[in-house]
């Protein structure tokens, strides 16, 4: 049993790009174009970058789900690793004993390990067990000691969880059962061509038919779909009918203890609270130097302006002057603060917030702050803000096309 010596890498914020950033930083790997560890912004760009996606789901017995996708979701981790020329050392087994042995050996060899685990069943989720709900994500393990696993997962501070609970979470889904991966450094010779390919993929995600799924669920078509559904009173998927005031609309805006809701997708799901637009802009700045294309700084600036529009949309979804929604926003912000800044030391507080979410859900049944004309005006304001983001990002993508063509 061991804890990797000198492990202090907790800068990564997303479960994929952040984990790879932390792993490479621990191995002392630096990017040739910066002389520093590979930034999470650069990794985001190489994974396919940003886009927009709009989805709703409705399962019996659960709150409806609104998903606002802000990043490439088509195999981004594998895409990023292949573009960077990173060799992956993957082990997988159906046996718990072998899975544990593989993890112990990786750490004994001085390597942080990515393991796939159901994060909803780990202690820091604050959630009770649910046989119908899981979310398998890669989690970086940098130590095993005295029956505990030491994790670097989306926080500036470590998580310490019982090793038995981590093992159970790793066994939750057959496809990822006891999967483990360590990585080698990138192939620097691939970076320029890979960066060009990655930028073109981002453009395609906004403008072309997606690799799978309906066309109007992705890119600029998805913005137009969301804007229309916010104010459409006839469409069964419109917010007037699909998300009426009460628990369903609260779920759309704020999610719950384990779902992001629109606010969480913007503020908490990525690396920064602006739908990762400024993070992608940082990637374009790096790409401008790597590819010797200074014109990339123009779309970078436009994406930063888009990030500010996203930052304005987030609080508009949960206004402080609407009592129940204002509290939902404060709970979301507090949860984000605890997760990012305190990590394992805040597990009890995180679990208490999850309990308060349940109370808020019940309260919304009888005291939702918007009805009638006020609700119509609220949805119209949101539509206008979504349309502004659409227009700004359309200009950004057009500038990005021009920069890559020049």
> Out of 1.10.3470, 3.90.70, 3.30.70, 1.10.10, which CATH number does the structure's domain 17-183 have?
3.90.70
Rounded to whole angstroms, how far apart are CA atoms 226 and 396?
Answer: 20
The pLDDT score that the predictor gives to residue 126 is: 65
CB-neighbour burial class of residue 97 (10 A; exposed 0-12, middle 13-18, buried 19+)? exposed
Question: How many alpha carbons lie under 13 Å from residue 373 in its C-beta half-sphere?
Answer: 0
Task: Output the six-digit token pair for 188.
Answer: 């620097």
Q: What is the dihedral of CA 210, 214, 219, 224, to 10 degrees?
A: 160
Reduce the DSSP state of residue 126 to 3 states and report it: coil
Which parts of the chain register pLDDT below 50?
Answer: none
- 194 burial (CB, 10 Å; 0-12 / 13-18 / 19+) is buried
| Three-state secondary structure readout of 55-83 | EEECCCCCCCEEEEEEECCCCHHHHHHHH
Residues 213, 400, 230, 57, CA torsion sign: positive
pLDDT the model gives residue 240: 97
Using CA atoms, how far residue 132 sits from 59, 62, 135, 172, in Å, is 11, 10, 10, 11
Start-to-end CA distance of the chain, whole Å, equals 55
DSSP run (H or E) holding 148:
strand 148-152
Any residues with CB less than 8 A from the CB of 35 and at least 6 apart, and which? none
Q: What is the pTM of this model?
A: 0.96
Name the nearest CA neighbour of 80 among 37, 28, 40, 139.
40
Q: Which two tokens stand for residue 144?
A: 């095993």
Output DSSP code: residue 39: P
**Pairing state between β 50-57 and 65-71:** antiparallel
Helix, strand, coil percent content, the chain, rounded in steps of 5: 55, 10, 35
Cβ density class 143-157: b for 16+ within 10 Å, e for less:
bbeeebbbbbbbbeb
Question: What pLDDT score was predicted for residue 125?
Answer: 73
Q: What SS3 class is residue 273?
A: coil
Listed residue (251, 260, 205, 176) closest to 47, CA to CA: 205
Residue with tokens 């979301």: 332
Q: How many CB atoms lie within 10 A of CB 92?
A: 15
Cβ atoms within 10 Å of 331's Cβ, excluding its own: 19
CB 246 within 8 A of CB 364: yes
* Phi, psi of 352, deg, nearest 5: -65, -40
The domain segmentation of the chain, as residue ranges, is 17-183, 188-405
Question: Do 13 and 271 meet the contact criterion of CB atoms below 8 Å apart?
Answer: yes
Quick one: DSSP state of residue 346?
A: G
Residue 300: exposure state from Cβ atoms within 10 A (0-12, 13-18, ≥19): buried
- SS3 (DSSP) at 149: strand
Angle between helices 191-207 and 372-405 (to 10 degrees): 140
- Whether residue 159 contacts residue 126, with contact meaning beta carbons closer than 8 Å, is answered with no
Residue-level pLDDT at 123: 77
């Amino acid at each position: 049993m061991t804890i990797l010596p000198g492990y202090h890498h907790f800068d990564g914020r997303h479960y994929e790009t952040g984990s790879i950033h932390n792993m490479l930083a621990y191995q002392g790997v630096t990017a040739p174009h910066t002389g520093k560890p590979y930034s999470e912004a650069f990794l985001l760009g190489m994974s396919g970058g940003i886009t927009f996606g709009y989805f709703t789901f409705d399962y019996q017995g659960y709150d409806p789900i609104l998903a606002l996708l802000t990043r490439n979701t088509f195999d981004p981790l594998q895409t990023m690793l292949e573009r960077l020329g990173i060799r992956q050392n993957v082990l997988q087994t159906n046996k718990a004993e072998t899975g544990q042995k593989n993890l112990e050996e990786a750490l004994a060899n001085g390597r942080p390990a990515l393991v796939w685990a159901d994060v909803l069943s780990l202690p820091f989720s604050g959630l009770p067990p649910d046989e119908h709900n899981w979310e398998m994500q890669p989690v970086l393990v940098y130590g095993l000691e005295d029956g505990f696993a030491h994790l670097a997962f989306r926080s500036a501070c470590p998580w310490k969880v019982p090793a038995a609970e981590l093992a159970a979470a790793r066994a939750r889904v057959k496809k990822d059962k006891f999967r483990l991966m360590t990585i080698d450094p990138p192939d620097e010779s691939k970076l320029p061509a890979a960066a060009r390919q990655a930028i073109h993929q981002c453009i395609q995600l906004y403008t072309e038919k997606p690799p799978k799924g309906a066309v109007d669920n992705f890119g600029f078509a998805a913005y137009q779909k969301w804007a229309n559904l916010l104010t459409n009173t006839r469409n069964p998927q419109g917010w007037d009918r699909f998300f009426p005031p009460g628990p369903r609309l609260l779920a759309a805006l704020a999610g719950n203890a384990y779902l992001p809701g629109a606010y969480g997708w913007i503020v908490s799901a990525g690396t920064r609270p602006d739908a990762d637009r400024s993070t992608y802009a940082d990637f374009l700045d790096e790409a401008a130097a790597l590819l010797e294309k200074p014109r990339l700084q123009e779309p970078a600036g436009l994406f930063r302006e888009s990030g500010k529009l996203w930052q304005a949309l987030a609080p508009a979804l949960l206004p402080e002057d609407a009592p129940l929604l204002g509290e939902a926003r404060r709970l979301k912000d507090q949860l984000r603060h605890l997760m990012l800044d305190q990590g394992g030391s805040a597990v009890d507080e995180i679990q208490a917030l999850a309990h308060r979410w349940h109370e808020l859900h019940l309260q919304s049944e009888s005291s939702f702050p918007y009805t009638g004309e006020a609700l119509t005006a609220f949805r119209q304001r949101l539509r206008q803000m979504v349309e502004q983001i659409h227009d700004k990002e359309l200009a950004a993508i057009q500038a990005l096309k021009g920069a890559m063509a020049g």
